[in-house]
């Protein structure tokens, strides 16, 4: 069931993942698919989209990047936050070995996905990238779920020096019939989408766009005629790259 109006939950636990990223565990549950997101409301502040890291209990991993996320980071255990959703189409879980590629807080929906895939017996390798070692988040969750975790830092302070995309390419070399699932900065997704196309690897990519309604009406989250809030946020490589006429709905090819 979708919560149509912002609904109050209390924060049960807060965990620092990095100097700028925190994970909030709430005192309630929703039913969601990995990749789906919720709109989080802080009264008098704003309402912003965040991926679910888990649905029971509801878990959110929030990077501090501006006014709203700063306000979120000021919340303490016992405080309330409001959310509506879950919204959007999540990842479609394929019965093949999985390569997950996360850039920064893009690890959030993938941690949820990893758990579900593992529960279904799928082998999961994760390429986790960030600027510095201290920015790598949720690695423990992936490990706890039974994934093999491969780190990359741009400054080389931990794991591979460079990008998660490099690691992903190597993981795909080792697993030519894997499926790729990714979430992170736009440039990373574009690069991975090209990679998938070149190699004929099925890829699914969770994208971000400015969201207002989250309901598929305001058009604010447009990506080449696709609605990130409703058709996505998870898209195929072709959709990420803006291929014409690749609408997810039957009306796509008139």
Ligand X SMILES: Cc1cc2nc3c(=O)[nH]c(=O)nc-3n(C[C@H](O)[C@H](O)[C@H](O)COP(=O)(O)OP(=O)(O)OC[C@H]3O[C@@H](n4cnc5c(N)ncnc54)[C@H](O)[C@@H]3O)c2cc1C
Ligand Y SMILES: Cc1cc2nc3c(=O)[nH]c(=O)nc-3n(C[C@H](O)[C@H](O)[C@H](O)COP(=O)(O)O)c2cc1C
Site for ligand FES in 219-238 (CB under 6 A): 219-221, 227, 229
- In the list 108, 127, 147, 188, the residue contacting ligand X (rule: CB under 6 A) is 108
Site for other proteins in 61-120 (CB under 8 A): 80, 82, 84
d(CA 91, CA 34): 6
211-234 residues labelled b (16+ CB within 10 A) or e (exposed): beebbeeeeebebeebbbbbbbbb
Q: Which is nearer to ligand FES, 43 or 219 (CB)?
A: 219
User: Is 210 a binder of ligand Y (CB under 6 A)?
Assistant: no
- In the list 216, 223, 238, 248, the residue contacting ligand FES (rule: CB under 6 A) is 216
CA-CA-CA-CA dihedral for 214, 220, 226, 231, to nearest 10 = 0
Site for other proteins (CB under 8 A): how many residues?
Answer: 37
Least distance from ligand X to the Cβ atom of residue 59, Å: 10
CB 211 within 8 A of CB 85: no
Name which of 199, 202, 185 is nearest 237 in CA terms: 202
| Strands, sheet with 3-18, edge to edge from the N-terminal-most edge strand | 46-51, 37-42, 80-87, 3-18, 21-26, 58-63, 54-55
d(CA 165, CA 203): 13
Q: Which is nearer to ligand FES, 12 or 223 (CB)?
A: 223
Which of ligand FES, ligand Y, ligand X, none lies near 66, with the C-beta cut-off 5 to 8 A by kind? Answer: ligand X
Q: Which is nearer to ligand X, 68 or 235 (CB)?
A: 68
Helix (H, G, I), strand (E, B) or coil at 199: helix
d(CA 250, CA 254): 9
User: Is 1 a binder of other proteins (CB under 8 A)?
Assistant: no
Site for ligand FES in 138-177 (CB under 6 A): none
Least distance from ligand Y to the Cβ atom of residue 217, Å: 5
Q: Which residues bind ligand X (CB under 6 A)?
A: 37, 46, 48-51, 61-63, 65-69, 105, 108, 208-211, 233
């Amino acid at each position: 069931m979708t919560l149509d109006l912002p609904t109050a939950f209390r924060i049960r636990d807060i965990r620092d993942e990095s100097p700028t990223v925190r994970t909030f565990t709430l005192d309630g549950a929703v039913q969601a698919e990995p990749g789906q997101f919720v709109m989080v409301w802080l009264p008098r502040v704003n309402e912003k989209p965040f991926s679910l890291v888990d649905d029971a209990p509801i878990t959110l991993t929030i990077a501090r990047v501006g006014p709203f996320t700063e306000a979120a980071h000021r919340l303490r255990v016992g405080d309330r936050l409001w959310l509506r959703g879950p919204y959007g189409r999540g990842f479609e879980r394929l019965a093949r070995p999985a390569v997950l590629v996360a850039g920064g807080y893009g690890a959030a929906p993938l941690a949820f996905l990893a758990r579900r895939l593992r529960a279904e017996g799928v082998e999961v390798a994760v390429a986790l990238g960030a600027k510095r070692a201290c920015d790598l988040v949720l690695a423990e969750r992936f490990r706890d779920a039974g994934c093999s975790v491969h780190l990359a830092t741009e400054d080389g302070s931990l794991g591979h020096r460079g990008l998660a995309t490099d690691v992903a390419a190597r993981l795909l070399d080792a697993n030519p019939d894997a499926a790729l699932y990714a979430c992170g900065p736009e440039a990373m997704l574009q690069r991975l989408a090209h990679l998938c196309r070149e190699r004929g690897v099925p890829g699914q990519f969770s994208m971000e766009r400015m969201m207002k309604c989250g309901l598929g009406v305001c058009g604010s989250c447009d990506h080449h005629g696709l609605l990130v809030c409703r058709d996505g946020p998870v898209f195929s490589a072709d959709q990420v790259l803006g291929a014409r006429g690749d609408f997810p709905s039957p009306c796509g090819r008139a």
